[in-house]
Amino acid sequence: MTVMDKFKLDGKVAYVTGAAQGIGEALATGLAEAGADVAIVDINQEKAEAAAKRIAEATGRKTKAYAVDVTDPENAGKLVDQVVADFGGLHAAFHNAGMAHNVPAEDLSVEDWHKMINLNMHAVFYGTQAAGRYMLENGGGSIVNTGSMSASIVNVPQPQIHYNTSKAGVVHMSKSFAVEWATRGVRVNTISPGYIATELLQSAELAPLREEWESVTPQRRLGQAEELAGIAVYLASDASTFATGSDFIVDGGYTAV
């Protein structure tokens, strides 16, 4: 089997959370382009259905939208069961739904701290545990969680202590799952993007910072969500069978300087 054969995802089933737009949609599109059938999971049902339709039309693969709030721990196992019932299995699970928010550390409310950690970190735990439970019993699989370069560095100038903390948690949590399951066929890795031009960065507080981010990124530009699809396909595929517990930073050189 050639390395290009190993990258093929024909016959595999994946789900991606936060896949109605942005990075999640780009990851899901890449997986479908490589041959996977893909469940599009998002809290926004209308947008999830539109994304599922776009991806199915563009790739010819089976897709289905699932309206799910990933912060409810009960939903994680139900989602796995539904995807397995609808698609006949689950080989790759991408936990990508997340949020951003800026506020100085001394002004951050307890509510906003919990809201961030709940979505960006706790929901990733619920999903990884549920997908892992299925994969451990059903021939293994690959779990990929969206971290951020903010897990390794503290961004400037925007104050986002709760975001940075949540992403550091995702990366170390994923390594911990990976080590526990390393001999049992379930791999767990993180994709940690640098600045990517999505709606997440379009808020009134973040949009004005774009030029500054470009100037401190060695490639002097923001990334496009599609530029993360390659690493997603690699991690979901048999090309990456020795990769587990790793954090794949894709950031135009930002964390190298």
Q: Is 148 labeled as catalytic in the residue annotation? A: yes
> What is the edge-to-edge ordering of all strands in the sheet holding 247-250?
63-67, 37-42, 13-17, 92-95, 141-146, 186-193, 247-250
Cα–Cα distance, 37 to 61 (Å, whole number): 5
249 interacts with ligand NAD by CB under 6 A? no
Question: In this chain, which of 7, 33, 35, 43 binds ligand NAD, going by CB under 6 A?
Answer: 43
Cα–Cα distance, 69 to 8 (Å, whole number): 30
Question: In this chain, which of 12, 21, 227, 229 binds ligand NAD, going by CB under 6 A?
Answer: 21
Strands 37-42 and 63-67: parallel
CB of 180 to ligand NAD, least distance (A): 23
Element (H, E) at 144: strand 141-146
Q: What are the phi and psi torsion angles at 38 (to 5°)?
A: -135, 130
Dihedral class, residue 153 (left if φ above 0, else alpha if ψ from -120 to 50, else beta): beta
Catalytic residue among 148, 174, 192, 246: 148
CB of 4 to ligand NAD, least distance (A): 28
Catalytic residue among 15, 66, 126, 163: 163
Question: Which range in 1-9, 103-111, 181-189, 191-199 contacts ligand NAD by CB under 6 A?
Answer: 191-199
Question: In this chain, which of 8, 44, 108, 175 binds ligand NAD, going by CB under 6 A?
Answer: 44
- Residues, the chain, total? 257
Residue 141 CB neighbour total at 10 angstroms: 24
Map the footprint of ligand NAD across residues 111-170, applying CB under 6 A.
119, 146, 148
Please give the size of the binding site for ligand NAD, defined by CB under 6 A.
Answer: 28
Question: Which range in 28-36, 151-159, 192-200, 234-242 contacts ligand NAD by CB under 6 A?
Answer: 192-200
**In the numeric block, which tokens belong to residue 30?**
């890449």
**In the numeric block, which tokens belong to residue 169?**
């948690």
217 interacts with ligand NAD by CB under 6 A? no
Provide the 8-state DSSP code for 249: E
42 interacts with ligand NAD by CB under 6 A? yes
Residue nearer to ligand NAD on the CB measure, 106 or 168: 168
Cα–Cα distance, 224 to 221 (Å, whole number): 9
**In the numeric block, which tokens belong to residue 225?**
């969500």
Q: Is 167 labeled as catalytic in the residue annotation? A: yes
Map the footprint of ligand NAD across residues 194-213, applying CB under 6 A.
195-196, 198-201
Question: Which range in 12-20, 107-115, 131-139, 238-246 contacts ligand NAD by CB under 6 A?
Answer: 12-20
Which residues of the chain form contacts with ligand NAD (CB under 6 A)?
A: 17-18, 20-24, 42-44, 68-71, 96-99, 119, 146, 148, 193, 195-196, 198-201
Active site residues: 148, 163, 167
